[in-house]
Amino acid sequence: MGIALAMILILFFSSSQTYEQQSMTSGLDRLLANKPFEKQLSAISFPYAGSEISIQAKGYSSFIEFFIRKGAHFFSYALMGFSLFMGFSAFIKRRWLVTAFSAGIPLAYAAFDEFHQMLTGGRTPLVQDVMLDFTGALFGILLAYFLAKWLIKKDKALITP
């Protein structure tokens, strides 16, 4: 549960920053100056929140930054969902209730986080980001569920003669 709280605090701080404060493009320009895999990545193009995501539309560094940012969204919420599920499982025995809290809290926070971004200069709140965050949380919950099941099975195997 402490990990989930830490993620919430980190996400709140991150949402308080403008896009310019968070931008990684100049660093990526230097780090990826020779544009590795540009030919292969140029074949990728898809819509996200009404914009085309491709190297042609965004430029190489902005394209890479998009995946870093969205990956950070997904995995931070996956960690939040995972830690909430494991934490709630320790003192709530009804699995459906554990799942409801573990999914509901990240979903509510994702919506709040996008609202918070709307109040921050240079940031755009996106429903698609709420869906991405929630998908990450569900991934973390599923991971925690199967890990918990495996650990219980393993413990039973150790106890049974």
pLDDT for position 20: 87
Domain that holds residue 83: 2-159
pLDDT for position 24: 92
pLDDT for position 18: 87
pLDDT for position 122: 82
CB 51 within 8 A of CB 59: no
Residue from 62, 40, 38, 39 nearest 51 by CA? 62
Alpha-carbon distance of 64 to 21, in angstroms, equals 17
pLDDT for position 161: 58
Number of domains in the chain: 1
Q: What is the pTM of this model?
A: 0.90
Q: Both tokens of residue 58?
A: 């965004």
Put residue 85 in one of left, alpha, beta given phi > 0 → left and psi -120 to 50 → alpha: alpha
- Mean pLDDT in consecutive groups of 10 residues from the start of the chain, 161 residues: 92 90 92 95 96 96 96 97 96 94 98 93 91 98 94 74 58
pLDDT for position 59: 96
